[in-house]
Amino acid sequence: MEPPRESEPVVTAGAIDIRLSNVGKKFGDQTVVEPLNLDIRQGEFFSLLGPSGCGKTTTLRMIAGLEAPTEGEITIRGKSVIGVPVERRPTNMVFQKLALFPHLSVFDNIAFGLKLKRTSKHEIRNRVSVILETVKLEGYGQRAISQLSGGQQQRVAIARALVNDPAVLLLDEPLGALDLQLQLHMQQELVRIQRASGTTFVYVTHNQQEGLAMSDRVAVMNAGRFEQVDTPLALFHRPASEFVARFMGQTNVMSGEVTAKNGNETHVSAQGLSFVLIGQETLAVGDKVLLSIRPERLNLTTQQDAKLSLPLLRTLFQGTTVLYTFGLPGGDELNVSALAPSDALPEAGQRVGLRWENDAAILLNRSPAETSSK
């Protein structure tokens, strides 16, 4: 997985474009979205991220007006949109299925909504010309949709949504049908378009890499609720729960025990690995904890420099990196990610030395048994 994009949101301080206040949704007796509270700032690229069935698309559809919430309040630019039909909300939506009109030119596809509003021909020409520049399709106005690549068609769909100058653009997994290289290219294009337009983007995806690469903030959803709402860097490096740690990239989740306290240092042992947590004043010697250790925080080394030596179970060559899986004494597995060597990989069964920095572990929480006993 690529490292998260480190950037500051381009937002107006204090300006809220979307506010969800105790917004929930039921289909019959089934709760699909627990009551949610969320503020999305003006000019923010915000993503709803989670596995299939977690409620992210339903949440987006409630903002769009395609679903009515069972409870709660939704405001956009300070005005309630409960009961307001889709066409009267200051939003537009882009789906995975682009629904472009194949019999119309690029220009006429983009201008379609403006024509329905009886916008003057002069204004239509000006606005379509500006938006074509924004999505870098100048000179493509008279082309047929069939003459465009998949990425160009995606940009036409975005241009058609943005030309109406919505307060918020809602995007429901729009890159899901594209191949990997085109997805990566369109991620860069979406960020550029969002920055150029200044429009608030709310983006739904199950792809962790997309959420990390494009977003100013991300809401990780699970079973209809928010597990954590934070920046990509914080989600990746400071997950608030085991679910977030596992969902935001490969990790080793291990049970451990506090072995010593030394000033603001808390020493923890987990299946033969030792770590130091800074702070954590509430932890005491003997407390059970749950840790996350990213595979890239563990390093291969020589036996003489190793903190621990473990048998190699298997390797997974991933191009620039290799994922090594080792066996722990208790039967669990430990994954280590390292740059791929130019020569042969070690063989299964070989013992390999490992090193790591003392701060390589992230405290997720106390273990369930420990939590219930306190």
* Long-range Cβ contact pairs of 332-340 (< 8 A, separation 24 or more): 332/254, 332/271, 334/252, 334/271, 334/298, 334/310, 335/250, 335/252, 335/295, 336/295, 336/298, 336/299, 336/300, 337/250, 337/294, 337/295, 337/296, 337/298, 338/296, 338/299, 338/300
Is 90 exceeded by the pLDDT of residue 360?
A: yes
Alpha carbons 9 and 16: distance in angstroms, whole number: 13
Predicted TM-score of the model (pTM): 0.85
Return the domain boundaries, the chain: 16-246, 250-373
Mean pLDDT over residues 94-101, rounded?
82
Alpha carbons 226 and 270: distance in angstroms, whole number: 29
Token pair in block for residue 287: 């407390």
List pLDDT tens digits, range 16-42: 999 999 999 999 999 999 999 999 999
List pLDDT tens digits, range 221-239: 999 999 999 999 999 999 9
Which of 167, 200, 229, 198 is closest to 44 using CA atoms? Answer: 200
Which CATH number describes the domain made up of 16-246? Answer: 3.40.50.300
Which of 132, 145, 138, 107 is closest to 197 using CA atoms? Answer: 132
